[in-house]
Amino acid sequence: MLRTHTCGELRLDHVNQEVTLAGWVQRVRNKGGLIWVDLRDRYGLTQLIFEEDSSEKALLEKAAELGREFVVQTTGKVIERTSKNDKIPTGSIEIKVTALEVLNAAKVPPFIIEDETDGGEELRMKYRYLDLRRNVVREKLQLRHKMMQETRKYMDAQDFIEVETPVLIKSTPEGARDFVVPSRTNPGEFYALPQSPQTFKQLLMVSGFDRYFQIVKCFRDEDLRADRQPEFTQIDCEMAFVTQEDILNTFEGLTKHLFSKVKGVELEEVKRMTYADAMKYYGNDKPDVRFDMKFVELNELAQGKGFSIFDQAELVVGICAKGAAEYTRKQIDALTEWVKRPQIGAKGMIYAKYNADGTIKSSVDKFYSPDDLQDWADAFGAAQGDLMLILSGDADKVRKQLSELRLKMGEDLGLRDRTVFKPLWVMDFPLLEWDEETARFHAMHHPFTSPKKEDMALLDTDPGAVRANAYDLVINGVEIGGGSIRIHDRTTQQLMFKHLGFTEEEAQKQFGFLMEAFEYGAPPHGGIAFGFDRLCAIFGGSDSIRDYIAFPKNNSGRDVMIDSPSSIADEQLKELSIQLAMKK
């Protein structure tokens, strides 16, 4: 080894020991006859001292030539610092250097490699190998490492077997757009990169493996945002001979284990909510339940009073912001403009303030009497000092708009505390959802999700009303994982494909291998997949998953560090039997 200790290891107990350290120069402070150098590695930082009276002149001159990010090896004696630094673990000691070797000089880095940097995101992504030297980034990857280890410990203790599944698979029509890979040995044919190992983990259940998991790379060619990457990681899991309750309990256990071992947080029992209630009271299927502010429907109280905007609306619905009646007219006008933005799409907003003197002031006072407004307040459960915010319009649209407003109010009022964790199971999703563009039903989750037995008869008469044996785990308004009890017999699977608009030939071509496997004794089974990157971001208190991925891609799906994707040579295209269309 080129070192006897790391840069985060030495303490007062090591005083008078001769040690050798190796690492990167964080900074140099040159006082002429006295030079201090902060030396850094992944474990911490140690101060080196070079003194003119006790060091060789050549050694002092060598230290003066050091620059940021030089890689050096140094030997010296551990001494107690006269001016201690209580902000770092090694702050009570320093190294009185007797030997210094530059292992590799460095150019001046394009940004400061410290917790507070001057580099923008695109620049730091271009030099990601430098960004990874920063403590704040490295700590996120260390968190990811710990979560991987604790996941494996828990799953192993629950008798799960980790099995790798193929990366080059068959392209299927459901879900997001596939990434495809041309086959040189099979001209004109293509592999697809897996969006998830869904069919393989079901085949493992048919194979009798009983309990499978994998921390696996998945790929989706879709538009990107802060919590999406073209390649991402799942904790993928499947169990045989289980009910939905068994799966919820098992993976509630995993969630509690991770919070306990990684965050030191003991979670309470994970609450459960139906999809129907989530949409009714929160306007989305991943509600943030760290705060209340449930939706209250006002059709019966607000319509028929001559206010045409409400009278013509399919739904009049609002939220009560506790303690927000002191909002000024300027603040309320700003909220109104916020909900009218194209991203939200509301036409306007009505408010009602429950003042401290017991009166209620509304923006529609001329249409509603004080008694009418009191009825509103009673419906909201409002008290003096509260602010009621109301939207109206088409039911589906207005719920989505109010959901965004609720989240904004929660943020503005400090109710979305990142140190508080409120996990929630959302259950009983619709099996199918109607797609206006294709004018047919699509699977809300995927085509292998089992319908509830009691709803099977509705498949022919009212497909949109059929509920699925499906469940999502939501933490603080973020979908962390989702799964379902699967179909495990050919007849039901063929029926499902039929309702999804597959012809028998299409179903056989795409999924014949799975339906045939079901005829060889497939056990009842189900599972779940956790978005591992999102889970890491939740644990780390971040909105973006990028810092939890060693080499992420930008919003255009590009790796600006290695300049990928990129064109390939004509010879390679010819080998793959690919001819590029000419750009117009």
- Cite the annotated binding site by residue number: 174, 220-222, 229, 445, 479, 486, 531-534
| Beta-carbon-side half-sphere exposure of residue 155 (alpha carbons within 13 Å) | 21
Angle of CA points 65, 70, 72, to nearest 5° = 90
434: β partners: 441
**Interaxial angle between packed helices 490-499 and 504-518, expressed in degrees from 0 to 180 and rounded to the nearest 10:** 160
Closest CA to 454 of 467, 464, 437: 467
Which string of DSSP letters, residue by residue, matches 136-198? HHHHHHHHHHHHHHHHHHHHHHTT-EE----SSB---SSSSPPPEEE-SSSTT-EEE--S--H
Is 499 within 8 Å of 476 (Cβ atoms)? no
Angle between helices 198-206 and 504-518 (to 10 degrees): 40
Q: In degrees rounded to 5, what are phi and psi of residue 152?
A: -65, -40
Binding residues for L-aspartate: 174, 220, 445, 486
At which residue do the structure tokens 């560090």 appear? Answer: 561
Cα–Cα distance for residue pair 288/305, rounded to 1 Å: 34
* Phi–psi pair at 170, nearest 5 degrees: -95, 140
Contacts of 583 (CB under 8 A, 6+ apart): none
* Separation CA 272–CA 473 (nearest Å): 9
State the Cα–Cα distance between residues 507 and 514, nearest whole angstrom: 10
Nearest-CA neighbor of 551 among 112, 43, 126, 110?
Answer: 126
CB 266 within 8 A of CB 563: no
CB neighbours of 50 closer than 8 A, spacing ≥ 6? 34, 35, 36, 37, 59, 60, 63, 97, 100
Distances from the Cα of 375 to the Cα of 3, 379, 382, 393, 539, angstroms? 75, 6, 10, 21, 42
Distance CA 554, CA 537 (A): 17
For residue 251, with 0-12 CB atoms within 10 Å meaning exposed, 13-18 middle and 19 or more buried, which class applies? buried
| β-strand partners of 440 | 435
Q: Which residue is it, tokens 């291998």?
A: 513
**Both tokens assigned to 282:** 């929160």
What is the distance between the alpha carbons of residues 186 and 199, in angstroms, rounded to a whole number? 23
Residue holding tokens 């117009």? Answer: 584
Buried b or exposed e, range 309-344, using 16+ CB within 10 angstroms: ebeebebbbbbbbbebbebeeeebeebbeebeeeeb
- SS3 of residue 449 by DSSP: strand
Count CB atoms within 10 A of the CB of residue 407.
20
Give the residue ranges of the annotated binding site for ATP: 220-222, 229, 479, 531-534
